[in-house]
């Protein structure tokens, strides 16, 4: 068993890398193809022991992106191009045989999902779910496993009685904590958290976030944290990526992004956050997110962009490093931003593709 020592915090090696990842919904009826480009060329990486946040409006492709890096691809969703690479596997995620991919799950790669009400099997007691998910990875006897689960819950300050409960007998916050316990039981290298706090009320949300932060630090896991709620990102994530219409438009250290948003979309998102003492309603962005089956040419944001220029209508801006650890894909942000080739996004230099 490989344990990542806590001392390796802020290790700069990459746990996850994607390169030009494209995941499309493809439907064929009577020879007519229809393509929805939900993830369209995303290159990014997550460093060891960091929490990487992804933000964006609903239907911007966040969920599809997560599905793609989690290998939760079911038709009609397809990986069209690109690579997903984890440090704990030799080859790319999609080059791995299905059986091996399955063996990695939960041991190295686990998830915390939105909607704690519905992510636990309603007719199964919690301890059964723990068994289903983790038993085969722990290589322990039944009694030792049970002991280990209890010890783990204790560590997370959860009462052991919940193991005998059905999911509906627990409160929403408790269920989400159970999910976190479940996701961290095997001390995986990587955790994907998809809107883990969305349905919770503010007080519980705060506790749960603290717990995520704590366990992540304690076990030294890396994490992708997806939520549309920017305040959550501000509290939890180390780095933040902003997605719009299937593409990453800005990425940087969370504090940098908040203090110095360079993409007009990011700037808009941050500006529309409610602030204490506000009396005026926030200005809304005109228009709606594009139809991904037929996205606009050029920069996908240009129809709604207050700064749109001629070039934006024709060319797709490449995600360009404009400051330390801060990438932006906007022609208006800097002249350094060049049109990307064949719609490909991101600067190759910033990536060290491990093959």
Secondary structure, 3-state, the chain: CCCCCHHHCCCCCEEEEEEEEEEEEEEEECCEEEEEEEEEEEEEEEECCCEEEEECCCCCCHHHHHHHHCCCCCCCEEEEEEEEEECCCCCCHHHCCHHHHHHHECCCEEEECCCHHHHCCCCCCHHHHHHHHHHHHHCCCHHHHHHHHHHHHHHCCCCHHHHHCCHHHCCHHHHHHHHHHHHHCCCCCEEEEECCCCCCCHHHHHHHHHHHHHHHHHHCCEEEEECCCHHHHHHHCCEEEEEECCEEEEEEEHHHHHHCCCCHHHHHHHHCCCCCCCCCCCCCCCCCCCCCCCCCCCCCCHHHCCCCCCHHHCCCECCEEEECCEEECCCCCCCCCCECHHHCCCCHHHCCCCC
Q: Which is nearer to other proteins, 74 or 349 (CB)?
A: 74
25 binds other proteins (CB under 8 A): yes
Q: Which is nearer to other proteins, 70 or 211 (CB)?
A: 70
105 binds other proteins (CB under 8 A): yes
Residue in 124, 282, 297, 314 binding other proteins, rule: CB under 8 A: 124
103 binds other proteins (CB under 8 A): yes
- Which residues, numbered 171-200, are part of the site for other proteins (CB under 8 A)? 199
Which window, 2-10, 13-21, 69-77, 327-335, contacts other proteins (CB under 8 A)? Answer: 69-77
Which window, 235-243, 252-260, 286-294, 326-334, contacts other proteins (CB under 8 A)? Answer: 286-294
166 binds other proteins (CB under 8 A): yes
Which window, 7-15, 73-81, 257-265, 295-303, contacts other proteins (CB under 8 A)? Answer: 73-81
Residue in 8, 10, 95, 102 binding other proteins, rule: CB under 8 A: 102
Q: Which is nearer to other proteins, 201 or 310 (CB)?
A: 201
- Mark residues 332-351: x for contact with other proteins by CB under 8 A, - for none: --------------------
Residue in 30, 141, 161, 349 binding other proteins, rule: CB under 8 A: 30
Residue in 63, 197, 221, 266 binding other proteins, rule: CB under 8 A: 63
280 binds other proteins (CB under 8 A): no
Q: Which is nearer to other proteins, 166 or 258 (CB)?
A: 166
């Amino acid at each position: 068993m490989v344990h990542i020592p806590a001392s390796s915090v802020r290790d700069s090696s990459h746990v996850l890398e994607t390169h030009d990842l494209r995941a499309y919904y493809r439907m064929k009826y009577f020879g007519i193809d229809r393509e929805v480009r939900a993830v369209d060329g995303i290159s990014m990486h997550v460093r060891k022991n960091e929490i990487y946040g992804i933000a964006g409006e609903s239907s911007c492709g966040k969920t599809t992106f997560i599905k793609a890096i989690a290998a939760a691809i079911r038709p009609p969703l397809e990986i069209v191009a690109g690579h997903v690479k984890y440090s704990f596997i030799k080859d790319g995620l999609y080059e791995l045989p299905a059986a091996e991919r399955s063996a990695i799950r939960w041991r190295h790669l686990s998830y915390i999902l939105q909607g704690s009400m519905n992510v636990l099997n309603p007719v199964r007691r919690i301890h059964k779910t723990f068994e289903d998910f983790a038993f085969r990875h722990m290589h322990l006897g039944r009694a030792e496993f049970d002991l280990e689960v209890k010890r783990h819950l204790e560590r997370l300050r959860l009462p052991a009685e919940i193991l005998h409960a059905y999911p509906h007998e627990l409160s929403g916050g408790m269920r989400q904590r159970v999910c976190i316990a479940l996701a961290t039981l095997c001390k995986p290298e990587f955790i994907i958290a998809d809107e883990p706090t969305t349905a919770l009320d503010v007080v519980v949300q705060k506790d749960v976030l603290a717990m995520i932060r704590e366990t992540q630090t304690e076990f030294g896991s890396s994490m992708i944290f997806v939520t549309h709620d920017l305040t959550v990102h501000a509290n939890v994530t180390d780095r933040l990526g902003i997605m719009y219409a299937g593409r990453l438009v800005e990425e940087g250290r969370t504090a940098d992004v908040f203090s110095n948003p360079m993409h007009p979309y990011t700037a808009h998102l941050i500006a529309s956050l409610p602030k204490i003492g506000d009396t005026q309603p926030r200005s809304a962005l005109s228009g709606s997110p594009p139809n991904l089956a037929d996205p606009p040419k050029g920069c996908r944001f240009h129809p709604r962009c207050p700064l749109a220029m001629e070039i934006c209508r024709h060319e797709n801006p490449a995600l360009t490093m404009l400051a330390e650890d801060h990438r932006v894909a906007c022609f208006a942000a800097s002249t350094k931003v060049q049109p990307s080739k064949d719609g490909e996004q991101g600067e190759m230099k910033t990536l060290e593709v491990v093959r």
